[in-house]
Structure 1
Amino acid sequence: MTQTSIFGFLSLIFWLLMLIVSLKYVCFVMKADNDGEGGILTLMSLAIRNINSRRAGMVILAGLVGASFFYGDGVITPAISVLSAIEGLELIAPSLADFIVPLALVVLTILFAIQKYGTGKVGKLFAPVMCLWFVMLAVLGISGIMRHPGIVQALNPWWAIQFFQQYRSASFVALGMVVLSVTGAEALYADMGHFGKKPIRIAWGMLVAPALVLNYFGQGALLLSQPEVIKNPFFLLAPDWAMIPLLLVATLATVIASQAVISGVFSLTRQAVRQGYLPPMRIIYTSDVESGQIYVPLVNWLLYVAVVIVIVSFKSSSSLASAYGIVVTGTMVLTAVLLSIVLVKNWGWKRRWGGDDARCHVGG
């Protein structure tokens, strides 16, 4: 493991976060809403408004394939997120390795069982945990960066270019792993109806993005001085006394990340029912204030069964990583295709590049 590989990897992560999440999703994709709702089916419905019927069929196909990918995301995200957090048990007590899968199933059973109470009520429990989680990420990252301050050079995109030049074909394999750092972006858009644009943009710009960047760079700094921690640099970034608290908060945070995807699946299902792509089913509105906060019992429990099957079959987060990357990148590519149609046909970017539609306020 060389300095070029670590700096290049971090540079790729940073610029993917900036370009994919901050620019593509927070600035542009989130502008494409339908009465406050987001998601790939919303983008599809906007894209077909100003194109002829011959091309509309291809756009609808792209939207439905993208929706299918997102349903796959709704299955894999809870499985891989919770498994990856609970796998930290192996570092604390290797003898507990056999309990990772059963514990993951217990945690996810509780998560799916409380969905009926609605995003708003569940969110009140989760919000303090997420604030604590991102503060912990930032603090751990800063502690790592202080060991090797030169790691901040990786902000320069030159290192990403050097990485591709030096490792060539291997760099594209690495890019497949780096893309996992932006896997939550599609759920961010799908959850727009649950939380609104402004809260999501403020949370991303003021808390989430800085904390993630600091933590990734902290892990990189640790790897520069201790390459042997490559197996799990995140948990090993923490001092020994903080391992158990970090494991607990990490588990709660991954449960909340899973909640975000589940909420997105509920929104996607309602859109599919409204547009006639799914049969009518029971949809429960869980908030008197936010119409986007819903619960779909049938989808909830079908999703739960699928997640259980995936966990029992794959047993570890590393085994799920490749499938996770395919699902997420598939959705992102189709979102980009549909967004390009909306930019040209709906917003007139072919005639006037930029303008009011190009303005973005990440922090609010």
Structure 2
Amino acid sequence: MSDASAGTVEHEQPHSSSAIGLMVGAVGVCYGDIGTSPLYTLKEVFIGGYGVQANHDGVLGVLSLIFWSLIWVVSIKYVIFVLRADNQGEGGVMALSALARRAATGRRRLQAMVVIAGLIGAALFYGDSMITPAISVLSAIEGLEIAFDGLEHWVVPLSLIVLVGLFLIQKHGTARIGILFGPVMVAWFLALAALGVYGVSREPEVLKAMNPAWAFNFFVSHPGIGVAILGATVLALTGAEALYADMGHFGRKPIARAWFALVLPALVLNYFGQGATILVNPEAARNPFYLTAPGWALLPMVALSTAATVIASQAVISGAFSLTRQAIQLGYVPRMSIQHTSSHEQGQIYIPMVNWALMVGVVLLVLGFESSAALASAYGVAVTGTMLMTTLLMGVVVWLLWKWPLWLAIPFFLTMLFVDTLFFAANLPKVVQGGAFPVVAGIGLFILMTTWKRGRQLLVDRLDEGSLPLPLFISSIRSQPPHRVQGTAVFLTARTDAVPHALLHNLLHNQVLHEQVVLLTVVNEDSPRVTQDRRFEVDAYGEGFFRVVLHFGFMEDPDIPQALKLCHLNELDFSPMRTTYFLSRETVIPSKLIGMARWREALFAFLLKNANGNLRYFNLPLNRVIELGTQVEI
């Protein structure tokens, strides 16, 4: 799931230069990952130890598998169907999970399964976010081995320089280099197509691979490796999730048009051109992409490949930032520092902790595997796992939201599930060949997200046990009024029917109440954004007490002072110098109470201690905030 450098745009565009611009932008942001797959896919198929012979039947069988995988998985599943499952214009596994969860309202068990599927998909995406930059840049730099002898030892250092430099510039934003994304990637796909035409012209026999009979015959004639080879051909599909994730930035139509008009033809031509090169010279299987190019074009292709892989890596890194923000808003990840790198585009954000964690992971992968061929053994598990979760979530949407008739929904869902399960099963053996890395990373992140969500719920429950009902409190204030001071006090609380602990502590220690007391609750919705007319709810309880509920979407940055300006009530004054915000900071103490395992409680306590507090997260003014601490056993 990527965010890259594009901001949200209108989804329905006229047939004009703006529509072309959106298509070019979609090519630059959405198709970087899948567009760089030709660098390593066929090489992995033939030299990855699968036992596929670089002969006529082997080449045509593999090309047919790749061709029909692109048609079914990317063209039909993602571009034609999944892109239609938009959550108010937003896409990606977390947005799809929120959409499916809303569709399953009233079915608690199904909702729980939807949440788990979404979290697994999100966790696996982070593993993919580390592998994609490593394998893409390594495969591009490896072209130098073909151009010059004796440069094998320089591939890893040069790849590390490119990758570390990419992570170092993240804090400056991608606005400037983002301008080049589209044109560079258009040039890349045109170059892919040109190489493909050049290769096919030398051996047009490969065009027969468009006949699905070659794929079928490959399975029949290779019963031992028929399914296993899908673990390599799936490399041609990496990045398909980005099409859906980037829907909110470009809209469905520009992404679909770019795929069918440019990306798909270029990819097919290039794969077929590489296959033709292998038929002419079976030794070319060691690096068919670069060996397809004529000698004079080799160095320019290395340079263009490096630029394309950097762009692909940038899109994946930005996608990790976007997914993290969604997960924070939905309550599955601790609050982190989020920096906006553009004053114009909402989508351009930078999360330091995620950036450095990804950089460490990528560097370790490059140092550990040292080549794209070795790294390909780890690639595919996370990708196919995310695809499988998307299919499961789509089944819920098709059934409960779109309300397809069962005679149509069941066969379509089962077909998608069968294909994705085949790809996932074919990649499972990679777990013991190096693929354990994304799996372990995904498991760790899944545990972190579920621990944080469960821990927050336990914390709220423990606080509720000693809470005082709001009507009873106001009644006591009416009978025994304390001293009131001028101004407005805003107390943040998760409960809408109880008195915040910060309010009780303030009254106990300071013996005063403000003239206006606002009990503020922030609700994060499953929708990406909330319209201004649905932003807030206000209830007056008398005695100067008000209940305010603010609603934010998972793609929005919650700014409480800005939102409160929309609250136009004569009794309330939220002017900056008259408003004081009271926050409660809880310190969690693991205990033997029924809740989570002790190690998970300790993990939650650590996460809570190091998470960004409400002050920064809600953009509260530093000089108008009072924090009151309390200890809570969970």
User: Structures share a fold, TM > 0.5?
Assistant: yes
Is 1:207 aligned with 2:207? no
Aligned match for 1:297, one of 343, 349, 352:
352
Q: CA deviation at 1:110?
A: 1.9
Q: 1:71-110 to 2 correspondence within 5 Å?
A: 71-110=126-165
TM-score under structure 2 length normalisation:
0.54
> Which residue, 60, 77, 80 being the options, matches 1:27?
80
Quick one: distance in 1 between partners of 2:260 and 2:122? 27
Residue 148 (structure 1) aligns with: 203
Once residues 133 and 86 of structure 1 are traced to their aligned partners in structure 2, the CA distance between those partners, rounded to angstroms, is 16
1:173 is paired with a residue whose SS is coil
Contact 2:55 2:282 in 1 (8 A): no
**Larger Rg belongs to:** 2
User: Identity over aligned residues, as a percent?
Assistant: 56
**One of 286, 300, 307 as aligned partner of 1:252:** 307
Deviation at 1:88, TM superposition (A): 1.2
Which residue of structure 2 lines up, in the alignment, with residue 231 of structure 1?
286
Question: Whole-Å Cα distance in 1 between the matches of residues 139 and 58 of structure 2?
Answer: 24
Match of 1:41 in 2: 94
Q: Which secondary structure does the structure 1 equivalent of 2:64 belong to?
A: helix
Does residue 9 (structure 1) correspond to residue 62 (structure 2)? The answer is yes
Higher strand share: 2
CA apart distance, 1:264: 1.5
Cα deviation, residue 136, structure 1: 0.7
Structure 1 pair 117–27 and aligned structure 2 pair: CA distance change class (3 A)? farther
- Whether contact under 8 Å (1:112, 1:301) holds in the other structure is yes
Relative to structure 2, which stretch is displaced further, 249-258 or 124-133?
A: 124-133
Amino acid corresponding to residue 85 of structure 2 in structure 1: A
Give the aligned partner of residue 240 of structure 1. Answer: 295
| In structure 2, C-alpha distance between the alignment counterparts of 1:134 and 1:256, rounded to whole Å | 13
Range that drifts further, 292-301 or 7-16: 292-301
364, 376, 385: which one aligns with 1:321: 376
Which whole-Å deviations, capped at 9, do the CAs of 1:198-234 have from their partners, x for residues lacking one?
A: 3322222211111110000001111111111110011
Q: 1:220 aligns with which of 250, 272, 275?
A: 275
Deviations 1:39-94 (A, max 9, x none): 11111111111321122112211111111110000000000100011111111123
Q: Quick one: structure 1 residues 5 and 332, their matched pair in 2 at CA, closer, same or farther if it must change by over 3 Å?
A: same
How big is the shift at 1:351? Answer: 5.4
Question: Could you tell me how far 1:119 is from its partner in structure 2?
Answer: 4.3
* Counterparts of 2:198 and 2:95, CA distance in 1: 42
Displacement after TM superposition at 1:191 (Å): 2.7
Asked whether the 8 Å contact 1:191–1:260 carries over to 2, the reply is no
The alpha-carbon deviation at position 261 of structure 1 amounts to 1.1
- 1:27-46 CA distance string (max 9 Å, x none): 12122222322111111111
Letter in 2 for 1:71: Y
Shift of 1:319: 1.3
Root-mean-square deviation over aligned CA pairs: 1.7
C-alpha distance in 2 between matches for 1:203 and 1:120: 22
Distance 1:208 1:337 in 2: 27
Distance in 2, matches of 1:16 and 1:35, equals: 29
Aligned residue for 1:323, secondary structure, equals: coil
CA displacement at 1:127 relative to structure 2: 2.0
**Structure 1 counterpart of 2:196, one-letter code:** G
Residues 117-196 of structure 1 mapped to structure 2, 5 A cutoff: 117-196=172-251
For 1:90 and 1:335, locate their aligned partners in 2 and report how far apart those are by CA, in whole Å.
Answer: 38
Q: Specify the code of the residue in structure 2 equivalent to 1:270.
A: R
Output the CA distance in 2 between the equivalents of 1:342 and 1:322.
Answer: 33
Q: Kindly indicate whether the alpha-carbon contact (under 8 Å) linking 1:193 and 1:293 is maintained by their aligned counterparts in 2.
A: no
Structure showing greater relative contact order (alpha-carbon pairs closer than 8 Å, 6 or more residues apart): 1
Question: Aligned partners of 1:207 and 1:222: how far apart in 2?
Answer: 22
C-alpha spacing 1:288/1:18, structure 2 compared with 1 (3 Å)? farther
Say which SS state the counterpart of residue 116 (structure 1) adopts: helix
> Larger % of helix: which?
1
2:241, 2:408 → 1: CA distance?
Answer: 25
Give the structure 2 partner of residue 306 of structure 1: 361
Alpha-carbon distance, 1:337 to partner: 0.9
1:73-120 CA deviation, whole Å, 9 max, x = no partner? Answer: 000000010001111111112311111111111111221222234444
CA contact (8 A) 2:103 2:396 kept: no
| Residue 585 of structure 2: aligned partner | none
Q: How many residues align?
A: 354
Offset at residue 300 of structure 1 (A): 1.4
CA–CA distance in structure 1, aligned partners of residues 405 and 109 of structure 2? 21
- Equivalents in 2 of 1:289, 1:200: separation in Å? 22
Kept after mapping to 1: 8 A contact 2:140/2:309:
yes
Contact 2:185–2:308 at 8 Å: present in 1 too?
A: yes
Q: Indicate which of 117, 138, 145 corresponds to 1:62.
A: 117
State the 1:352 CA deviation. 8.2
Which runs of 5 or more residues in structure 1 are unaligned? 355-364
Q: Give me the whole-angstrom Cα distance separating, in 2, the residues matched to 1:199 and 1:83.
A: 30
Residue 175 of structure 1 deviates from its aligned partner by: 1.3
